[in-house]
Structure 1
């Protein structure tokens, strides 16, 4: 099954928490990365089948915007990321998240 990666960046922690929660509950995806950007921005990366990442990102965006003061800065989906992108960017399944891989 072709894999995809989806990312969401928000302003404020409650919005990214809501996005992460909604994303993993909306479809068969795995949260593979979380980090802080600058100026109160946070982002997550999820992985899964292309048909699963699309609704998961949509649910995450909706939940983030519904969080009090939540603001989605940007989001993007990459279907079938090449190995070079996976090896350079923090998008791979790590040992830490492997137990949650669906």
Structure 2
């Protein structure tokens, strides 16, 4: 089954927390990256099957936008990222994320 990566960028920690929580509860995805983009912008990336990532990102956007003190800035889904992208960017499964891998 095709794999995908989905990323949500928010302004403020409460929004990224709500988005991450909603994503893992809404679909069979694994958080593979969380970090600060710049200033108060934070991002969270999930991996899973394409349909699961689509569902997770939709849920994450909805949850992140409900937080009063933050907002969802942008989001993006990459279906079937090539191996060179997985090698360079921090979107691969790690020892820390492996125990929570859903597939």
Structure 1 length normalisation: TM-score? Answer: 0.98
Determine the structure 1 residue equivalent to 2:91: 91
- 1:23-102 paired onto structure 2 within 5 Å: 23-102=23-102
Partner SS, residue 95 of structure 1: coil
Aligned-partner Cα distance in 2 for 1:73–1:67: 13
Q: How many residues align?
A: 102
SS at match of 2:100: coil
Aligned alpha-carbon RMSD (Å): 0.5
* TM-score normalized by the length of structure 2: 0.97
Q: Deviations over 1:65-96 (max 9, x none)?
A: 00122211110000000000000000000010
Indicate yes or no: 2:9 matched with 1:9. yes
Structure 1 segments of 4+ aligned residues over 3 angstroms from their partners: none
